[in-house]
Structure 1
């Protein structure tokens, strides 16, 4: 696919949009999960904080003790869950899980007001801390204690990382699924344009004359405009064809008169002037016939013709022409071969070539065809005549050149045959045949 194609643009736009959306989703969900999990941790720490406060035992004098909390992790060294009681900046009690270590706290807050804090243990382990200050004892002996519960910050970080890793895996699968869905959507969405392209191709190849068939509402105006353009084109070609035909018919009478004058001059032994007039008349006839053929070609350029019936018809007709010796016609043409020619023009081209082969062949004329999978096809006509020198072959299809100057005949001539073939996008080439005479090849690409 080319970067300039609409399909590529839409797919790239979908890839970009989906990527941005999924990255934003990853960021938002990761933030939400972190916040949710952190709040859950603080809720759990708050329960432990209340339990710690309730488990404080004070005899009213100096001794302070804490009853064991419900979670056994507080008794396991470096378990990741800790508690600590501070009075006047000194640790007066702590969980066994701290194993003699401590962690710092912010300045004492108002009694009963919870504080959240991130700190590090004396070993440098990041901690998330929840605590409060309480007043303990009578007014005369009242003590201010800071109670806190701490958990390793890695609990939140690791859980968030694990969630993000798992979520990214699913998002990756979702990404490819969405890209596939976008590709299918683009394919389905642009299918009418592909259908329109195929219909235009069929019009160009002559299979259909107009863009028939249902189209979506968005594509239908374009199809209608193309059909109207084709109608206008056909009308313009028809008018051009009529004007060219009228001009040709209008010139035929003066040309006939000029040939009559040349004939009279020849009788009067004015040979040079008669030859010059005949040459100019033949040249004018050539141009007239060529332009008429081109106009007809442009009018019928979208048609296809089955080759085999045309060849059979032309061979059957030419066989009736008189010859001094019998002539063998070897015809091997594919039955399903078609050519992008109007039937009349194809008959003119083949008729002229076959007639030339008939005139110069000694005993055989061979007609074959070839059709390749890539769309290239050809018709080859060969004879076993005496042929022509190599330096003459290239001039055969030049304007006004004739191989049969001493043989009477009719037709458009090889030059006009070549022009006609080129008008239909085909090529006419002439070279030596393995039979000894000439080989004329008409080739085209059906695609």
Structure 2
């Protein structure tokens, strides 16, 4: 499927231009043919006029001069073929150019005056004939048919030459027309390319909206997109502000409850109740943090970001190395220089932070992070040499909407946040065995 609008329009215009010229070509050929036949008729009429002006009637007999005014009639090889027939159709005179030709022609002396026709001989050769009936010659009564002929092959030769030139002219005209169409389409679609560049800038986050420097036909579209962008930003901000307000309003009573639970514990029953209360308070706090992270790290509808991976990994690994300094974790980074991932920086930081924190916590001594790029995808993989995840548990813990921290105590909400972030960016998350011996979390992003 052709995805370029300019190429589509160019192909449509080219097809229409070719069809138009193919329809026009026969009409032009017909016009040339009629014009050429009219020219031949006029020339033959002129030849007949020359013969009439030279003819004389003496003693009731036709007399033609030995040398005609038109010198071409006096040359055998000139091709000027002239005949004079009497009323009975008997040939009474012929030009020298007809001495080598035996033309089978019988004039019609029927009172019509003149006739332009086309005749065919027994050998297949054709001639144009101009036949004029004459009743007066030099003021004297006469009854003759004066005829001029021209071979049709000369007409065909001329027409073939014209047709060849017509084809060449049409080909050159079509090529020039296609070049002009391409230039016109390029200029006409310049505004769409400008709009596309502005959309790229909006997606990359370098500008907030589209300008109004576009043709009037596109202003409604750009206005709608600007309203959508503005509405999206406001809605996301309101959503985050509302969640922040909710979290703040819940954190205070949770803190009070936390303090109350810590003050309990005078008797064994109170200590058990305090432990249950602290457990539930901690769980509620985790769920509040989880929902806040879900809301703040989701992908924007129109804006697309590209974040360089290596600096974030260096910062995260440096921090985690201090947290897990007793394990002496060895981390290998297989990341191409300046490799980027199509995510917002905050989302990528949270995603890598959770995956690396799990890898550091569950590994024995090795963690590996790799990135592979292709024309349409980016694959990010975080591996460790720990115990891994049982095969029967993988599908369930990666199932959309599952509360991973509830199913696997000790893992917190990290993988739940990772799954939500991956889903919001239309990426794919999979869990496999690592060559290091533990788990391998693979995330595949599409560049489209």
| Correspondence for 2:403 | 399
Q: Measure, in 1, the Cα distance between the counterparts of 2:43 and 2:143.
A: 24
| Correspondence for 1:425 | 426
Maintained 8 Å contact 1:30/1:164? yes
Q: Measure, in 1, the Cα distance between the counterparts of 2:407 and 2:362.
A: 9
Gapped regions of structure 1 (runs ≥ 5): none
Q: Measure, in 2, the Cα distance between the counterparts of 1:101 and 1:346.
A: 98
Q: Measure, in 1, the Cα distance between the counterparts of 2:307 and 2:246.
A: 29
Shift of the alpha carbon at 1:226?
1.9
Deviations 1:40-92 (A, max 9, x none): 32333233223212332433244644534445567759x86422222223224
| Correspondence for 2:50 | 51
Shift of the alpha carbon at 1:163?
1.0
Q: Measure, in 2, the Cα distance between the counterparts of 1:100 and 1:359.
A: 114
TM-score by length of 1: 0.80
Q: Measure, in 2, the Cα distance between the counterparts of 1:310 and 1:356.
A: 17
Maintained 8 Å contact 2:131/2:147? yes
Shift of the alpha carbon at 1:167?
1.0
| Correspondence for 1:185 | 184
Provide the secondary structure at the position in 2 that maps to 1:320: helix
Provide the secondary structure at the position in 2 that maps to 1:103: coil
1:56–1:327 distance in 2 versus 1, CA, 3 Å: closer
Deviations 1:317-358 (A, max 9, x none): 222225544333334434412223333333222222222222
1:386–1:133 distance in 2 versus 1, CA, 3 Å: same
| Correspondence for 1:439 | 440
Gapped regions of structure 2 (runs ≥ 5): none
1:61–1:312 distance in 2 versus 1, CA, 3 Å: closer
Q: Measure, in 2, the Cα distance between the counterparts of 1:380 and 1:9.
A: 41
TM-score by length of 2: 0.80
Q: Measure, in 2, the Cα distance between the counterparts of 1:224 and 1:308.
A: 38
1:336–1:172 distance in 2 versus 1, CA, 3 Å: same
Alignment partner of 1:330 out of 324, 329, 332: 332
Maintained 8 Å contact 2:367/2:384? yes
| Correspondence for 1:416 | 417
Provide the secondary structure at the position in 1 that maps to 2:314: helix
| Correspondence for 2:88 | 89
Q: Measure, in 2, the Cα distance between the counterparts of 1:357 and 1:133.
A: 117
Deviations 1:8-33 (A, max 9, x none): 55334423442354345534543443
| Correspondence for 1:297 | 297
Provide the secondary structure at the position in 2 that maps to 1:385: coil
| Correspondence for 1:361 | 363
| Correspondence for 2:66 | 67
| Correspondence for 1:340 | 342
Shift of the alpha carbon at 1:384?
2.7
Deviations 1:229-278 (A, max 9, x none): 21122112211221222233333445556777888699527969976995
Alignment partner of 1:104 out of 103, 106, 120: 106
Q: Measure, in 1, the Cα distance between the counterparts of 2:157 and 2:428.
A: 75
Superposed CA RMSD in Å reads 3.9
- How many pairs align? 435
Q: Measure, in 2, the Cα distance between the counterparts of 1:262 and 1:93.
A: 143
Maintained 8 Å contact 2:134/2:142? no
Shift of the alpha carbon at 1:374?
1.2
| Correspondence for 2:375 | 374
